[in-house]
Amino acid sequence: MENNTSLQQQLLEAGVHFGHLKKKWNPKMLPYIFAEKKGIHIIDLNKTVEGLQEAAAALKSIAKSGKKIMFVATKKQAKEIVSDCAKKINMPYVTERWLGGMLTNFNTVRKSVKKMQSIEKMLNDGSIDNLTKKERLTLTRDKDKMEKVLGGIAQISRVPAALFLVDIGHEHIALAEAKRLNITTFGMVDTNSDPNKVEFAIPANDDATKSIAIIVNYITAAIAEGLAERLAEKDDDDNSGESEESAEAKAARFEQKQADGDDRNKRARGATPTKRRVPNSGPGGRRPAMGGGPR
């Protein structure tokens, strides 16, 4: 990660510091406001850097633990940026309409995802050709609609560990559901929002494309680092396990060989010759001849 001065310069050039008009500001954002200029509140970039780095460190840790982080950005200027970044790191995302209950009623949403995947399978294996033209058209349209809304969450089987929201005011339904399920929330917070509604607030302009891009790219880079570290640790553990197993196997074979040798030596030293059994004497005190019958 770059130093704070360089990061501040990039944020300044991207217009991250421009807030909303004074009449639209939220008083709870006062600690993050540097000044007012021509009726517009200016965000303190020191606070932005601080919040961004804190959020990035937390998201990196979550990614390193193997948990999923869902990106939510249904604003027009943020859709493409967020979907591209989420795809790069293989994280779920929602950039179209947020379906009510997408988190709180996740099992029902998963059924819709499975239906979408079932139709997609039919299209790929050609089994849809057995249906009538009208049925094929209906299924294709249904699949396209579901793909648009659910395509970004098709690969997750459980509720994510964290949510990253571009505009917490615009994504208030998603935020409410995350709060209800105690999911950790991160968000870009403009001067018209309440920063206390998310655990990790990043004070920034959430309307400008450049501002959204620099924040989301920074967050994505941090998550990518966490994923890379997780992969490296996993490889190290696998290699270590293989070498330890090999050494243990060799030691076990050596010990078994030694034990087998000791057992053979003990048997050779301690074995007593087998005594020949002599039959008891017969009548008259004579012992019967060994090995032969009457001649």
Confidence of residue 127 (pLDDT cuts 50, 70, 90): confident
Grade residue 283 by pLDDT with cuts at 50, 70 and 90: low
The set of residues, in sequence order, having a beta carbon less than 8 Å from that of 23 and lying 6+ positions away, is 39
Q: For the packed helices 79-88 and 209-270, what is the interaxial angle rounded to 10 degrees? A: 10
pLDDT digit string, tens, across residues 163-195: 999 999 999 999 999 999 999 999 999 999 999
Mean pLDDT throughout 203-216? 96
Residue 184 DSSP one-character state: E
Average pLDDT, the chain: 85
pLDDT band at residue 257 using 50, 70 and 90 as cut-offs: low
Question: What pLDDT band is residue 124 in, cutting at 50, 70 and 90?
Answer: confident
Residue where the block lists tokens 């601080």: 50
Given the structure tokens 């017969």, which residue do they identify? 282
Q: Give the per-residue pLDDT at 294.
A: 46
Q: Are strands 40-43 and 33-37 parallel, antiparallel or unpaired?
A: antiparallel
Q: Which two tokens stand for residue 30?
A: 């006062």
- pLDDT at residue 292 in the model: 47
Tokens of 117: 């995947």
pLDDT at 242: 60
Backbone φ and ψ for 258, nearest 5 degrees, come out as -60, -45
Q: From CA 277, how far away is CA 175, in angstroms rounded?
A: 94
